């Protein structure tokens, strides 16, 4: 009988400041050009475009990440405004080279390499709880996992996971 390990981890919300600013700017554009559209009917097109901008930027104002670990596979999803989900990628733990906290000395040899960084963690706060997963194929994945997720990955690859 084979046991199945399933861990799900949801990060805290990250407020994307630029998206919030653009949303507020579009709200002011809607209000201003709505008043201008009375004497100038062509200004109504700007009102519609700014309204679409409010909707679009509002969807991306709050971003969370969900990590789901199922039997040697880590699935990363991005959640916008707690309503829309987008699959970022699926990573196999067997292709992992190292998994350690972002400031760990275990990552020193990987910092010199040219790695593609995929940021799947919210904006860091103190203390910084982010981890770095280096994958074969020159990818560096930034995560903010729970202790349960770190333990589950360590159980599968104990020589590649560090918590120092």
3-state secondary structure of 104: coil
Say whether both 70 and 148 belong to one domain: yes
140 and 80 together in one domain: yes
**Interatomic CA distance for residues 57 and 19, integer angstroms:** 5
Which pTM value belongs to this model? 0.77
Residues 75 and 136 grouped into a single domain = yes
Distance of CA 93 to the CA centre of its chain: 19
CB atoms within 10 A of CB 36: 14
Tell me, yes or no, whether 73 and 22 share the same domain.
no
pLDDT digits (tens, 9 = 90+) for 85-122: 999 999 999 999 999 999 899 998 888 888 899 998 88
| Same domain as 65, residue 51 | no
Residue 128 lies in a domain: yes
Residue 26 lies in a domain: yes
Whether 69 shows a pLDDT value over 90: the answer reads yes
Q: Are strands 116-119 and 139-143 parallel, antiparallel or unpaired?
A: parallel
Distance CA 9, CA 67 (A): 5
Residue 32 lies in a domain: yes
CATH code assigned at 148: 2.30.29
pLDDT in tens, 18-53: 888 888 888 888 888 888 877 877 888 888 988 998
Domain count, the chain: 2
Evaluate whether 109 touches 95 at the Cβ level (below 8 Å): no
Same domain, 72 and 93: yes
**Cβ–Cβ under 8 Å, residues 76 and 120:** yes
Look at residue 1 in the predicted model and tell me its pLDDT: 43
- Do 88 and 42 have their domain in common? no
Closest CA to 63 of 52, 75, 76, 50: 76
Smallest CA-to-CA distance from 53 within 32, 26, 84, 81 is with 26
Say yes or no: 135 and 75 in one domain. yes
> Do residues 44 and 67 share a domain?
no
Structural domain boundaries, residue 43? 17-59
Same domain (yes/no): 30, 82? no
Instruction: Indicate whether 21 and 71 sit together in one domain.
Output: no
40: Cα within 13 Å, side-chain hemisphere:
10
Asked if the structure places residue 162 within a domain, the reply is no
3-state secondary structure of 72: coil
State how far the Cα of 26 lies from the Cα of 49, in Å rounded to an integer: 9
Q: Tell me if the bond preceding 70 is cis, omega within 30° of 0.
A: no
């Amino acid at each position: 009988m084979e046991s199945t390990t399933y861990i799900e981890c949801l990060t805290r919300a990250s407020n994307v400041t630029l998206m919030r600013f653009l949303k507020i700017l579009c709200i002011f554009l809607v209000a201003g050009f709505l008043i201008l559209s009375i004497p100038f009917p062509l200004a109504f097109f700007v009102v519609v475009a700014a309204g679409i901008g409010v909707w679009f930027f509002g969807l991306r104002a709050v971003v969370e990440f969900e990590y789901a670990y199922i039997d040697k596979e880590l699935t990363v999803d991005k959640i916008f405004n707690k309503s829309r989900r987008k699959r970022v990628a699926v990573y196999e733990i067997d292709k992992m080279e190292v998994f350690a906290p972002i400031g760990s000395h275990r990552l020193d040899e990987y910092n010199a390499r040219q790695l593609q960084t995929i940021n799947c963690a919210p904006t860091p706060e103190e203390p910084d709880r982010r981890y770095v997963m280096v994958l074969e194929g020159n990818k560096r994945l930034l995560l903010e996992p729970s202790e349960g997720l770190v333990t589950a990955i360590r159980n599968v690859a104990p020589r590649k996971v560090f918590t120092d």
